[in-house]
Structure 1
Amino acid sequence: MNRFFLVLILVFAFGYQSIQAQNFSTHQVKKGESIEAIAKRYFISTADIYKLNPDARKELKPNTILIIPLSKASKPEEVSTTKELKGFKTHKTGRKETLYSLAKEYDIAEDEIKKYNTFLYANPLRKGDKLKIPVFKITEVVKKTESTKMYKVLSKEGKWRVAYKFGITVKELEDLNPDMGEALREGQMLKVPNIKTEEEKEVDEKYSYYKVLPKEGFYRLKLKLGIDQETLESLNPELKETGLKVGMVLKTPFSKVASSLEETAKKVDLTTEIKTYKNKHIALMLPFRLNRVDMDSSLGISDQISKDPYLDVSLDFHSGVLVAIDSLKALGISLKVDVYDTKYDANEVSTILNTNNFDDVDAVIGPLTPNTFNRAASELKKTNTPIISPIGENLNLYDNVFQAKPSNDLLKEKVINFVKSDSTVNNIIIVSDTKHATTASYILQHFSQAKQVRSRKDKNGKDQYYIMIEDIRGSLKPGKNVVFIETASEGLASNVSSILNSLIQSENKNTGRSKVDIVLVTTNFNSAFEGDEISNDHLSSLSFHYATISKPYNSEEANSFIKKYESMYNSTPNSRAVKGFDLTMDVVLRLVTSDDMYLSVNQSPLTKYVENKFAYKKKPFGGYYNDSVYLVKYHDLSIVEVE
């Protein structure tokens, strides 16, 4: 029995050390206390107490020691006591009694016994001494510590960043601030946990961040992110204490697609935010190559334009710019615009910059081709003049560069993160042809349990760009199936969408047939999905999803622009004209609503126009890139944005 008692003491001692290390405390139950009162005192739930003290469910005895988790989201009350002398008890000292034993017996200090029995200061305690033992009325004074404080939202901070900083979930932040809105504004005041400044966590851009979704445990996160529990706990030590919670923000090793977090930036209507009507000066550089147009040629001007792709693109883009200039003037904005023909020649760009004064130019739009743009950006870097690229491929992202076209990698990330964030997905299949095998492998890295289906080949190994129904039927599962299709072949896209459409089935309880839902997605939307062979009915029934840099407009959404364009040119604007309009509107409105383009990145986090939206982010060592794309899907034969 003695050995058992010793082991029990050792277990409690070591266990107590472990408890202290994990940010727990203890509470000695007082007579009349309830679990509810104790939970309220420490700003925790009764479930939190029962989890660590299961015996407390049966009976709560006085003097029981409870383990109390100290939540970072709240602070316990500070308790102090006051003593008031009520009277005395008489005690006759017995054999072997000491001041220490008497102090323990009456729960008072030895000095308090001496204070009311002054002879003990000079003499030792003897058997038979008659002592006056003070009786106190003890009053517990509870000083409540505020569990929250007010926090001012910083630039670029969204909900998940604030939640991560204060160690709570996004849902907990929303519960604390029911009127906070969908997107945060710089300077907005929020109620947050009252933790010490040194306990606040900072977002490190060298890492990615992931918001835990419903029903996600460590095993599912390992499959989804390729990160094991040990790594997650090393980066997020609080996991050892709390475990995974829905909405919790986790730090993870850096990955372009690891994060399910996308800041819901607040869309800003810059036409209502104009701060200055002072003249703004922009320059437009386009490869018109007008030196190649022969006005006296027997070949008509329109034929020459159609045979010169650079001239054709430049004229379309410029037509949209002119509509934007007209719209900006209607807003009262004074604007000077210089238009230069780069002739698709980097040396011509240098000549333009050397023979013209760009000192007072607020921003340059273009050139449209990579080599000419990089030359202009390099030379304008000396004066820190912002230069905006409508293209987005093979650019040197200098500090003064704004890449308006989102990258192809961002489009991939958008689709992959969309699939990752859907907790209802039961099965993933990847269909690809030989030319897109690398893309299929890339997707497989993020969905290691996905099944692969490859297009069939002939006996010589040449891709035939089709599959058979039996190639994919066996890979489907009851519930929601997501099928990636990666191809630029119209034939394969038509073949796969047709087969998948035939494999969708509804539930039939009488026959025991399970429901099979199929959602078709691609990381690379191209002309293969817009060809005559493709059935839009099939794409709609498969809810075909893809990411795109621009969302097709409808007549109601862009009525003003369309009317103005048609009145000026007697034709409907194409996507290049719309891009010219959207980009010019955005650049100039940023200039008149902020001190310059650079400051507008923080002050105007997200802007939307006819087809395009702009949300610039800065690279740690370099310029700015547009981090905003649309996720759309086919629905009832229309293309709609997925919110």
Structure 2
Amino acid sequence: MKKILTIVLIAFTMGLSAQNYIEHTVQPGETIATIAKKYLVTPFDIYALNPDAKRKFQPNTVLIIPNTKVKNEPIAEEGREIIGYEKHKVRRKETLYGLAKEYNVTEDEIKKANRFLYSENLKRGDRIRIPRYKTVVSRQTLSNTVKKYTVQPSEGKWRIAYKFGITVPELEALNPSMNDVIQPGDVLNVPNIEDKEEKEIESAYGYYEVLPKEGFYRLKVKLDLTQEQLEQLNPELKETGLKAGMILKVPAEVDTTTKLESVGTTNLKTSLSNFKTKKLALMMPYQLNRIDVDSVEEAKARIKDNKLLSIVLDFHVGVLMALDSAKQLGISTDLKVFDTRRQASTVSSILEDNDFSKYDAIIGPMEDSNFNRVALALKGDRVPLIAAMNKPKDVYSNVFQTIPEDKLLTKAMVDYVKADSLKTKVVIISDRANRATSEALQREFPNSKLIFTLTSSKDASKDLLYINPASLQNVFPSGKTYVFLETDDNAFASSVISMINGLRTNRAEIILATTDKNKAFEGKDIDNNYLSNLQFHYPSIYKDYDETKDNGFVTSYRKEYGVTPSKYVARGFDITLDILMRLASAENLYDASVNTVETEYIENKFRYNKALFGGYVNEAVYVVKYSDLRIVEAK
């Protein structure tokens, strides 16, 4: 028996030698991830050769590490070599951060060249040395499992990660300088596997990125797929288990981008633990350079006539009230306010003159171009940037989008109607401009009746924005009927609302709904009594605060300003208090924003879900309704 074992061991050792593997003895503090990174392989490679490492991993364990699968081409590595110093006399308002940017060096490199800066602050008149470097390129042939790969058209991070059997974070670890959005022609480091081992992206399936802390139970709730079903589609799961950033193959019909869940409201007051002072910045277009602060009357007139300024100031008041509320909970805040002036040059100066790397979060700017500029500048330091009043074009990895996407609002309304076990019928009334929306609704409700506006007999492409009243006869039987009205036209909305209000009876309950509550449902031509009679339902990113209940926020505002707070005051309060509460309940905003945490304040609620290879998007929405001429949350 011993001879047989000896022969097996000899054969195994010869096999390792022939396949060019190496051994690694685990040192204290090492993990599979750090070892994989050291040898530029993936954890999957190590587990494949060392299956026992999953249950028994400790110092002095000997692991078999793949050394090479395919011969590598030499890889060019860049380094920096100091070649001298440049003298600089510090001018007024200059900072280490600004000088580092100006001379393309780091703050630490300046400090190393001027040791007194470790104990003293930089001040005007100081004469310092700025190191100068040259780039040294060396070519090194690595005996590892990494090779170069050129990004193809339509390929993103997740496609490449899936193709080479690694997670997105592992791909990012192999490519520290990779852009947030990769482009065709970019050259990346990838596992050096044979072409036949690369996994193919199959159009007949969908794909999903596993989020941090997601287990099979969460995926069952989100994707409606069991562990067995996922393992059947992704056999490697049986070996590796779920890992954050892993790309899973799922059936094509599974919605991998949006899945509204019923999540209970989280009371963060019970989990406050991080009471370090929170460092916040507020970037808003106050445009104070246009206001004569010495003239009170002129300032008042400016605020009255400038709608944007009025919104900004209301939001600002809400922010300050949130800071005061947080202080009462033991959360202190260091807030710095910046006037962006709606100018790109001003935003650039703000970024150059200030070091934001230690900030816990930044709210704003409001303008898309300036927001994008700040997001990109702070992405490397992972400083959270809060889109409070806008939906940014690009949701970078450090962006928190507080306004939910339109498709989430539509889904919330559809799900609400589907969940009503008492409904008997759905009718959809639509103008031709909203044909796509109404036909999508009919697919959600296959037995519904779809009524379009009439067209001109002379020109079928001309929408008359009118329906024949006869088309509504005998449509509403006894019981409950939901009527979706999809239009952007105020006159058409007014006529339909009037018609269906007249068709209500004691036996026929008609509930009006829409997926997009726009200006068509407002104005003097819309009778709010009719909307209240029809219990008008629609999805919304916010709700009106409940006037029937005591509300310390509203009471404090009325006492201070003598009027009811606007929705912008409430939004400034809700967003800021939510940021501070989350920061006080975790180490940072990222850790506090898993999709199982839903918070709610005066008029807004927040449940963030990490976008596929992007930042965090709020998925918490309301369905509200008219009730006795008041707008309340529909339960």
- The one-letter amino acid of 2:328's match is A
1:621 CA displacement: 0.5
Measure the CA separation in 1 of the matches of 2:301 and 2:436. Answer: 41
Inter-CA distance 302–504: structure 2 relative to 1 (3 Å threshold): same
Aligned to 1:350, which of 327, 348, 351? 348
- CA positional deviation for 1:597: 0.2
Is the contact made by 1:286 and 1:367 (CA closer than 8 Å) also made in structure 2? yes
Bigger radius of gyration: 1
CA contact (8 A) 1:466 1:491 kept: no
**Counterpart of 2:357?**
359
**Residue 489 in 1 paired to residue 550 in 2?**
no
Q: Counterpart in 1 of 2:337?
A: 339
Report the AA paired with residue 486 of structure 1: E
Cα-to-partner distance string for 1:177-225 (whole Å, 9 max, x where unaligned): xxxxxxxxxxxxxxxxxxxx969998998788xxxxxxxxxxxxxxxxx
Q: Which residue of 1 aligns with 2:176?
A: none
Map of 1:622 onto structure 2: 614
- CA separation in 1, counterparts of 2:220 and 2:559? 44
Show structure 1 runs of 5+ residues with no match: 1-151, 169-196, 209-234, 236-250, 507-514
Residue by residue, what CA displacement relative to the aligned partner does 1:323-373 show, whole Å, maximum 9, x if unpaired? 111111222221100000111123321211110121221100111121111
Does the 8 A contact of 1:607 with 1:614 survive in 2?
yes
- The residue matched to 2:437 in structure 1 has which SS? helix
| Correspondences of 1:262-341 after superposition (within 5 Å) | 262-295=260-293, 300-341=298-339
Number of residue equivalences: 412
Query: Is structure 2 residue 218 aligned with structure 1 residue 157?
Result: yes
CA 1:167–1:556: 2 relative to 1, 3 Å: farther
1:467 is displaced (CA, Å) by 3.2
Contact 1:164 1:201 in 2 (8 A): no
CA distance in 2, matches of 1:159, 1:553: 35
Q: Residue 143 of structure 2 corresponds to which residue in structure 1?
A: none
Report the equivalent of 2:81.
none
Q: 1:441 is matched with which residue?
A: 439
Distance 1:517 1:363 in 2: 48
Judge which range, 323-332 or 616-625, deviates more.
323-332
Q: Show the counterpart of 1:60.
A: none
**Native 8 Å contact 1:370 1:394 kept in 2:** yes
**Contact 1:158–1:265 under 8 Å retained in 2:** no
CA change 1:379–1:300 in 2 (3 A) is: same
* TM-score, scaled to structure 1: 0.58
RMSD: 3.4
Q: Which residue of 2 aligns with 1:400?
A: 398
Supply the distance in 1 between the matched residues of 2:241 and 2:379 (Cα, whole angstroms): 36
Q: Against the structure 1 CA distance between its residues 520 and 167, is the aligned structure 2 distance closer, same or farther, given a 3 Å change threshold?
A: farther
Cα contact 2:215–2:242 (8 A) shared by 1: no
Gapped regions of structure 2 (runs ≥ 5): 1-212, 230-236
Q: What CA deviation, in whole Å up to 9, does each residue of 1:458-492 have, x standing for no partner? A: 67765554434213225445544321101233332
Partner of 1:611: 603
Aligned mate of 1:574, from 566, 575, 582: 566
Residue 639 (str. 1) matches residue 631 (str. 2): yes
Answering whether residue 381 of structure 2 is matched by residue 383 of structure 1, we say yes
**Quick check: 439-448 or 495-504, which moved more?**
439-448
Mark the CA change 1:614 to 1:207 in structure 2 (over 3 Å): closer, same or farther.
Answer: farther
2:381 paired with 1:411: no
8 Å contact kept, 1:289–1:341: yes
SS at match of 2:492: helix
CA contact (8 A) 1:165 1:200 kept: no
Instruction: Percent identity, please.
Output: 36
Q: Is residue 2:527 matched to residue 1:535?
A: yes
CA-CA distance at 1:273 after TM superposition: 2.1
- CA drift of 1:427 comes to 3.3
Distance 1:418 1:525 in 2: 16
Question: Tell me, what secondary structure is at the counterpart of 2:218?
Answer: coil
SS at match of 1:610: coil
Task: Choose which of 589, 594, 600 in structure 1 pairs with 2:586.
Answer: 594
CA–CA distance in structure 2, aligned partners of residues 460 and 298 of structure 1: 61
> Does the residue aligned with 2:554 lie in a helix, a strand or coil?
helix
Partner of 1:471: 471
Distance in 2 (alpha carbons) for counterparts of 1:603 and 1:465: 42
* Cα pair 2:263 2:596 within 8 Å, conserved: no
Matches within 5 A, 1:14-93: none
* 1:527-566 matched pairs, under 5 angstroms: 527-557=519-549, 559-566=551-558
* Alpha-carbon contact 2:574-2:601 (below 8 Å) kept: yes
What per-residue deviation string (whole Å, max 9, x for no partner) do you get for residues 494-533 of structure 1? 2212211222334xxxxxxxx4332211000123324333
Q: Is the 8 A contact 2:363 2:385 kept in 1?
A: yes
Residue 555 (structure 2) pairs with residue 583 (structure 1): no
Q: Is the 8 A contact 1:553 1:610 kept in 2?
A: yes
- The alignment partner of 1:632 has SS state of strand
Distance 2:387 2:420 in 1: 34
Alpha carbons of structure 1 residues 455 and 200: separation in structure 2 relative to 1, 3 Å: farther
Instruction: Provide Cα deviations, 1:575-597, integer angstroms capped at 9, x if missing partner.
Output: 01100000000011111111000
Q: Return the match for 2:515 from 523, 526, 537.
A: 523
Distance 1:617 1:335, change over 3 A: same
**Residue 293 of structure 1, CA deviation:** 1.8
Superimposed CA distance per residue, residues 124-159 of structure 1 (whole angstroms, 9 cap, x where no aligned partner): xxxxxxxxxxxxxxxxxxxxxxxxxxxx99599398
**2:471 match: secondary structure:** helix
8 Å Cα contact 2:371/2:392 also seen in 1: no
* Distance change >3 Å, CA 291–CA 300, structure 1 → 2: same
**Secondary structure of 2:345 counterpart:** helix
Q: Is the 8 A contact 2:322 2:576 kept in 1?
A: yes
Q: Which AA in structure 1 matches 2:502?
A: S
Whether contact under 8 Å (2:399, 2:615) holds in the other structure is yes
For the 8 Å contact 1:374–1:396, the answer to whether it is kept is yes
Measured in 2, the distance between the counterparts of 1:307 and 1:618 equals 39
Q: Distance in 2 between matches of 1:582 and 1:482?
A: 33
Contact 1:466 1:492 in 2 (8 A): yes
CA distance in 1, matches of 2:349, 2:557: 33
Distance 2:224 2:410 in 1: 27
TM-score, length of structure 2 as denominator length: 0.59
1:569, CA displacement in angstroms? 2.5
Over 3 Å counting, the alpha-carbon distance change for 1:525 and 1:383 in structure 2 is same
Distance 1:317 1:156, change over 3 A: farther
Q: Secondary structure at the match of 1:598?
A: coil
Per-residue deviation, 1:449: 4.5
Q: Which residue of 1 aligns with 2:255?
A: 254
